[in-house]
């Protein structure tokens, strides 16, 4: 969203008969719209943030996310993205889970979906409120504004730290003293010169819980993430086949991973979200893997309408589900995997083969291999059949 300044003077509301500052007026308006935190930052990034981005891209930690590199100059400097920007308003909305986000990991026949994706797409929830605030700002001041909700080259976490909302923890996510690790972020770039808030300090101390719990060892060092090893990246951003080394440790995580967020000690100050759009839908809270594996494209779109899960598409999602089925330890789910051996998608067929090598008994494994491998035309799927020379006994 962008609006043009009309050059009119500031005209802020009065509280108790006294004029208020621009930052106070904007903060009060944002809180009245339901935001949980508001901060103001200059339109610059600290040198450390710029170096971190450069190193991240140089090491290839971004994997398939080429869009991170394509506009790195804009990401590293808000002034390159929009030369007229004079201040950045950072807005945050709490999506804290109602219960333990890791509890479902033990329910191996169920799929574990990251907390943030169990209901409405957060982009839609935030965008409506941010646009309302930006429109109010323009109408009150004539200032120009641009709105961003995780869809543009904006380094929102360093900006949030500069705005005093939180700090980037050792897991590279934002941590807030009031809300722990459970905040969605959005930004308004504006031509208004606003008084910045004090930068938040790093308060991680000697804690390493987020680093040590990572199932795939995705942190080469504190404050450094190799996305190529991250389960969130693998299940959401990665478009191809998931490497063998990551499959078993993925467990039943079928969309995203909350492990490093959930163990942060600062979550003891967090509260469960009160936003209805973030409360989990019953059918996404603990879905049966067998039901999810059976989804065709139309059913997938229907089930995940309005959900961020929809954007990865049915094939990648069922790929993830079949890995979880292979990790379930439930021989009865072998029949579910068998049904996907003739799926149109090689991504799905490949992981159906892998799941069967984990669940099928010797006779079933041999029969299916002899039936399907000669008919298979995809090189990668044939490789999955070849990968285990000897049939694996059922659990």
Catalytically active residues are 150
What is the rounded CA–CA span in Å between residue 256 and residue 117?
Answer: 8
Residue 60: C-alpha distances to residues 169, 297, 360 (Å): 21, 32, 37
Q: How far is residue 72 from each of residues 76, 228, 256, measured CA to CA in Å?
A: 6, 19, 25
**Burial annotation 113-135 (CB, 10 A radius, 16+ → b, else e):** bbbbbbbbbbeebbbebbbebbe
Pairwise CA distance, residues 352 & 336, whole Å? 9
To the nearest 10 degrees (0 to 180), the angle between helices 313-326 and 346-359 is 10
Element (H, E) at 174: strand 174-175
Phi, psi of 60, deg, nearest 5: 75, 20
């Amino acid at each position: 969203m962008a609006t043009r300044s009309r050059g009119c003077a500031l005209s802020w509301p009065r509280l108790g008969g006294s004029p208020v500052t621009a930052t106070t007026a904007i903060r009060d308006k944002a809180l009245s719209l339901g935001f949980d935190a508001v901060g103001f930052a200059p339109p610059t990034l600290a040198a450390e943030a710029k170096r971190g981005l450069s190193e991240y891209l140089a090491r290839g930690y971004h994997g398939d996310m080429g869009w991170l590199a394509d506009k790195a100059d804009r990401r590293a400097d808000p002034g390159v993205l929009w030369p007229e920007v004079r201040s950045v308003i950072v807005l945050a909305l709490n999506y804290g889970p109602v219960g333990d986000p890791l509890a479902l990991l033990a329910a191996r026949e169920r799929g574990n979906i990251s907390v943030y994706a169990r209901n409405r797409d957060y982009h839609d929830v935030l965008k409506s409120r941010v646009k309302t605030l930006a429109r109010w700002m323009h109408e009150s001041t004539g200032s120009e504004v641009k709105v961003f909700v995780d869809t543009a080259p904006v380094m929102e976490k360093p900006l949030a730290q500069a705005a005093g909302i939180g700090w980037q923890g050792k897991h590279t996510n934002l941590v807030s003293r009031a809300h722990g690790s459970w905040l969605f972020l959005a930004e308004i770039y504006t031509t208004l010169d606003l008084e910045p808030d004090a930068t938040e300090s790093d308060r991680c101390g000697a804690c390493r819980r987020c680093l040590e719990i990572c199932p795939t060892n995705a942190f080469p060092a504190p404050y450094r993430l190799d996305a190529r090893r991250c389960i969130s990246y693998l299940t959401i951003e990665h478009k191809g086949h998931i490497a063998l080394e990551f499959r078993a440790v993925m467990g039943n995580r079928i969309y995203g991973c909350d492990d490093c967020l959930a163990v942060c000690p600062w979550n003891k100050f967090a509260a469960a979200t009160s936003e209805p759009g973030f409360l989990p839908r019953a059918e996404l809270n603990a879905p049966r893997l067998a039901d999810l594996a059976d989804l065709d494209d139309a059913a997938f779109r229907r089930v995940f309408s309005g959900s961020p899960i929809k954007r990865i598409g049915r094939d990648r999602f069922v790929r993830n589900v079949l890995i979880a089925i292979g990790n379930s330890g439930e021989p009865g789910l072998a029949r579910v995997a068998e049904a996907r051996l003739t799926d149109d998608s090689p991504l799905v067929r490949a992981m159906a083969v892998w799941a069967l090598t984990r669940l099928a008994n010797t006779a079933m494994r041999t029969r299916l291999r002899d039936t399907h491998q000669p008919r298979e035309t995809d090189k990668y799927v044939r490789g999955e059949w070849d990968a285990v020379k000897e049939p694996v006994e059922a659990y």
